[in-house]
Structure 1
Amino acid sequence: MKRHEALNPLSHHHHHALVMALEMKRAGTEQSSKTYKQLVRDMIDFWIKDGRDHFRDEEEVLVPLYLQFASEPKENLIKDMLYQHAQIRGLIEELREKGETDYEKMRSLGELLDEHVRLEERTLFPLMEEAIPENYLYQANGRFHRDSYSGF
């Protein structure tokens, strides 16, 4: 799906989130080459370097712009997105603090992360691109954090 270039940093982050989600969904299966501890470390590293800031970019920059400019904002979709953000934060904290292995919870987080990225990429971002004037999208881009993997 072609994305407005101002939102490319967020879509780039989403790519990394989908890779992480796939690894988590495979946790504890023969499809996974990583131990549970490796997955938790990778998840924490991803969250600290990119995930938290990515959510902040969406919550503090993009969503307010959308609500400002959309003539009929899809409030339920925004609520779904924000609720998923809270769920993802909670699951990450739980897995981070939990001392024992919980493959089921890790796979649940992977499923939720995958679902969340697809909601944003397929549904929310197109609505935002349509509603937010281009010059404001470019200004928002300047406020997004840069991906730790590529600097994008």
Structure 2
Amino acid sequence: MKRHEALYPLSHHHHHALVTAVELKKAGTEKTEKSLLDFRRSVIDFWNQDGRGHFRDEEEVLLPLYAQYGNVNQESIKKMLIQHAQIRGMVERIREQPRLTAEQFRELGELLDEHVRLEERTVFPMIEEAVPEKLLYQANGRFHRDSVSGR
């Protein structure tokens, strides 16, 4: 799917979220040798380095910009924000709970996967269509840079 270049930083974050999701969905299966502690570290690192900042980029920069030109009262936007809250809650539970299950990590992996696909397939195309290109480029300068690619 072709993405407007001003949204590339967010799509780079999405790529790394999908890689994380694939790994998390393997938790407790024969497809991985990672321990639950390894998974916990991975989730916390992912969240601290990129997840938290990515959600802020979308909630504090991208959606307010979209609200000026499009209708934010749409099911896809509501679902996106509900998923943000769910993911934050799951990450906090993983961070704070002393005993974790593989199911918790797999559940987070499934939700991350679903969330990224919602944004890439539905939300971002709506934003690209509604928001003037010049303003998308200006928003780009306010996005945090991906810890893996630096973009």
Give the TM bin, normalised by the shorter chain. Answer: over 0.9
Q: Deviations over 1:27-81 (max 9, x none)?
A: 00011131111111011001001100000000000011111111x4452211111
Q: Using the alignment, how far apart are the partners of 1:97 and 1:35 within structure 2? A: 17
2:63 is the alignment partner of 1:59: no
- Unaligned 5+ segments in structure 1 are none
What letter is aligned with 1:138? Y
Instruction: Give the superposed CA RMSD.
Output: 0.9
Superposition map of 1:74-85 within 5 A: 75-85=74-84
- Unaligned 5+ segments in structure 2 are none
Superposition map of 1:100-115 within 5 A: 100-115=99-114
SS at match of 1:23: helix
Superposition map of 1:85-124 within 5 A: 85-124=84-123
TM-score, reference length from structure 1:
0.96
Q: Using the alignment, how far apart are the partners of 2:122 and 2:77 within structure 1? A: 10
SS at match of 1:33: coil
TM-score, reference length from structure 2:
0.97
What letter is aligned with 1:81? M
Go from structure 1 to structure 2 and tell me whether the alpha carbon gap of 1:8 and 1:16 turns closer, same or farther (over 3 Å shift).
same
Task: Please identify, of 124-133 and 73-82, the stretch whose mean Cα deviation from structure 2 is larger.
Answer: 73-82
Q: Using the alignment, how far apart are the partners of 1:49 and 1:32 within structure 2? A: 23
Number of the residue aligned with 1:24: 24
Q: 1:101 offset after TM fit, Å?
A: 2.7
Q: Using the alignment, how far apart are the partners of 1:32 and 1:14 within structure 2? A: 22
Aligned length: 151
Number of the residue aligned with 1:46: 46
Task: Please identify, of 61-70 and 73-82, the stretch whose mean Cα deviation from structure 2 is larger.
Answer: 73-82
Q: Using the alignment, how far apart are the partners of 1:20 and 1:96 within structure 2? A: 16
User: Identity across aligned pairs (percent)?
Assistant: 66
Moved over 6 A (4+): none
Q: Using the alignment, how far apart are the partners of 1:77 and 1:63 within structure 2? A: 12
SS at match of 1:150: coil
